[in-house]
Chain A
Amino acid sequence: MGKENKLSAGIKNGFSNIGKNVKEIGVTFTEGDWITKLSFLIMGLGQLIHKQFLRGIIFLAVEVLFIYYMVTFGAEYLVGLFTLGTVETYVDKSGVVPVTIYGDNSFLILLYGIITVFAVIAFVYLWRVNVRQNRQIKIFLEEGKHLPTSKDDLHSLINENFYTTLLALPNIGVFIFIIVPIIFMICVAFTNFDADHQPPGALFSWTGLTNFKNLFSIGSAGFGSTFFTVLGWTLVWAFFATFLNYFLGMGVAILINKKGIKFKKLWRTILVMTIAIPQFVSLLYVYKMFADDGLVNGYLLKWGLIDSYIPFWSNMTYARILIILINVWVGIPYMMLMATGILMNIPEDLYESARIDGANGFQMFMKITLPYMMFITGPYLLTSYTGNLNNFNVIYLLTQGNPKSMNMVGGAGYTDLLITWLYKLTINDTNYRMAAVIGIMVFVVTAVISLVVYRFLPSVKDEEGFQ
């Protein structure tokens, strides 16, 4: 629906925004008095002179700190970002005792380099705000309006700008612990950071698209065939894990809600046990239950139903089916709770009139219950599917991705999802570059599915609708 138009409009918008900004900065400079002009260099000056002490001091402090940071620390790392370090670590054997002389640390250069880039962007933005405020001061004074004092500024933090107060901490947290690390890892995908290039012992450097080529190259050393096997199973797994749980959970909810069924609360409580009990307890126990020498095999042997144990976990097909079934055990109750709540909201007279028209139970389910459920839970299905793509716990606690295969690289097994494979590559192989590439692929898969499905959802929410 005119996506390209939207995009080009967006780009045009962006450029015209920049143009507008530059123009405004120019106007501020030419029309401003000497204080405004000097404020371009000394941030916060205009604010200080016009008795906006809080703003003035903050801007001044930002400028001083930024210059200090860049001179003593930042500039070096910003330059280092281009090469990720040039001085190798080596062992000096000229003395009696060999001494390790540490060179550059690529890891630190990349990390601090990224942080410095953000510092520069933030500084430019604050400088722009500073200029705008100086312009505002001029306009306010000309119009004879009251300039906000420090007290007004502080008060606005619990009133008009209360949201900034509330969002400050979460945003700082997300920036440091989500945004910086993600950008760091995206960068790692374009380097050769792996077991052979581990700082501080060795440098790593930019390698362009090599890792991505490796991911798609089919051959003995390439990751191609393993990647597509794992990706395929990840998609299949998420499909079954989502839809099997969805329909079975709905079915169970309908069964329990049926008129004339007693002890409704008891049935629900029993099922909900799998949500309440921490998964690492229940899943590890179930894993052992189906082990070669576990309870299930033990009883089947004892009753003479089989002659030798069933290799539930070492046979690919058994393992895959079992994982999906055990996930039903864990997942149905959640869907049941949800469906119970929604089913109660379906107006009873819809069923009443259908009954008068002579519809049977199945027809009513297909014509009333299912469409209603699908409409309401569309977004949930989507998040549930993407959540299952990354369902680490169920896979890792049950099989750790096993059974392993000689045909797969990077220690991958037949029940590995992309996410568990990524984990193995990080922990066992310290192959950070390929782990980063796979992480990016997980993102791509999730994003594509979300975008495509979202367009087909009937219930794309009207955000303001409920208010």
Chain B
Amino acid sequence: MWGRAQASRLRYVNDQHPMLPDELIRRALAERDVSNWRADDMLHHFAERRQHDQGMSAVEPQKSRYRTQLFPKSAKLGNWIAVAGLAVLLGAGGLISHLATISESPLNSVVTYRTQNSEHAEMTLSDGTVVRLNVDSEIDIPYNFGNTQNGRSVNLRGEAYFHVTHTVGSPFVIQTSTARAVVLGTEFGVRAYDSTNVRVAVRSGKVALNDVVLDARSVGTVNGHSPVMVAQNQDVDAALSFTKGQLVLSRTTLRDAIADLNRWYDVEINVVNTAYNSEQINVVLSIGSINDLMDFLRMLFPATITREGRTITIS
């Protein structure tokens, strides 16, 4: 598998060149990152303008409407410093097009951020904690997040990376369907696509997963309601590679990789010839077009690979 893989324009684990041509194109296409522009701030300005507009709806629109400086210059500059500091971290194509839904009661309300297949998103919470959502993931953030009484607690489905800001006396809690991770200030990833398999990989600091303490470079897994299993001195960066916009499949069988490939490329892969299910895959992929995925599969398997819409069949 390795020999053939090297020849490809996709980036492989042992390849010297650091980036795919596709990744270069993507970077060249990149717009200035606005993931840190606060939608709420913009909405506030918009609401003001709308009110103003409704107050003078009989009046013709101003002639030089795009010339007016809507925001004071200094405020803008402040924004940009924040953007320059944090925004550059976003992975490939990671634009926030999440759906944010707000439940009714204002006191108990929760904002849900959601990424679709083949989407990444990054957000900074009010306490400065940075969250990067992997593909097809969902996080609930309470409206009163960070209040002294309520503390810092979020719900997660899917996979996310957290860089938690240390706040004295206020632990950060991540709740998945079956596991609960408590942290003080640290960097780590939580993977909980599947309620029967939750994985926490700690880059630095300490995380308590269902009350079992994980040190830096440890990976803890929970299968269903079983006790936590801890593996120390792990390659945590591989487990957190999605934060760099990469999907690392290392010594994985096709069978185990399909769910991830489906999520990353927003496709549905059907394996008709089940002999391929147990083939090993070693590859690093970026979010790309379906055609990239097709190329990759064709390279990997001497199979007939066809596609109809978003369904790919390997036979």
- The answer to whether A and B belong to the same complex is no
The interface of chain B, by Cβ under 8 A from chain A, is none
